[in-house]
Amino acid sequence: MARMKDKVAVVTGAASGIGRASAKLFAAEGAKVVAVDRSKAVDETVKAIQETGGMALSMIADASKEEDVANFVDTAVKEFGKLDALYANAGISGGGQPPFFELTAEHWRQVLDVNLIGVFLAIKHAARVMIPNKKGSIVCTASVAGIRSGAGGGPYSASKAGVINLTTTAANYLTGTGVRVNAICPGIIETGMTKPIFDYAEQRGTKDRIGQLNPLKRYGHPEEIAAMALFLASDDASYVNGQHIAVDGGLTSSMPVTGRVGR
């Protein structure tokens, strides 16, 4: 398969988890990839891509800083001649925060800066270079936490709800340009962000119970989100625009309950 043949893609949050899996998959499907993260571990992602014959370069950048975002978008164009797809995946959970009524404005700013304003900046600067080509795909990582409560803390959930709304708003701002904007809403995925949950369950011997509230009765893997990101970034999704798509084992298809009639 070569669904990204001759395409240039930027992936943020590419040092681990969903971002790393997506950068590797995009490259395997033929894309030239700019892998971005504020962690130097992004170099390992690029090394893995290059070792399998792919083309990629890494950049250390902060997805919440406009100067950094403009720079990695411009670098993609300078190094590879264009930008066809950008996956705005970088995000933080804001884990370890105090209870809701003890949160401060600073707690909220830290999460919103990366998870929501960072996505806005990615859309803004990616669209800037895509519009002249009259084509492009921008994919954003939202979350099931942005659809319903119970899947994350207040700031995180609100930031992801904002990403969902921003996706629809941006798609309409870009009417007639040929640039598409969509969002993915992952369920519980085993990544660095969710590591404390998985580590705690491992200690208790209950890891196999993670994800039991969805109809598939399991948690997900970064590669399963990467597969959706690839679809949305590719021309296979040429008529998909302004959507938020849950990849969650069916969790948001129903209000979670512990048992169901008719088994």
Q: Which residues are catalytic?
A: 156
User: Angle 44-224-256 (CA atoms, 0-180°, nearest 5)?
Assistant: 130
User: What's phi and psi for 137, nearest 5 deg?
Assistant: -130, 125
Q: How far apart are CA 46 and CA 49, in angstroms?
A: 5
User: Angle 111-186-209 (CA atoms, 0-180°, nearest 5)?
Assistant: 105
Q: Which two tokens stand for residue 240?
A: 């998909």
Q: Nearest-CA neighbor of 139 among 90, 172, 106?
A: 90
Q: Nearest-CA neighbor of 160 among 139, 141, 182, 137?
A: 141
Q: How far apart are CA 27 and CA 25, in angstroms?
A: 5
Half-sphere exposure in the Cβ direction for 103 (13 Å, CA): 18
Q: Nearest-CA neighbor of 87 among 237, 218, 188?
A: 237
Q: How far apart are CA 25 and CA 92, in angstroms?
A: 22
Q: Which two tokens stand for residue 206?
A: 């209950």
DSSP tally for the chain: helices H, then strands E: 8, 7
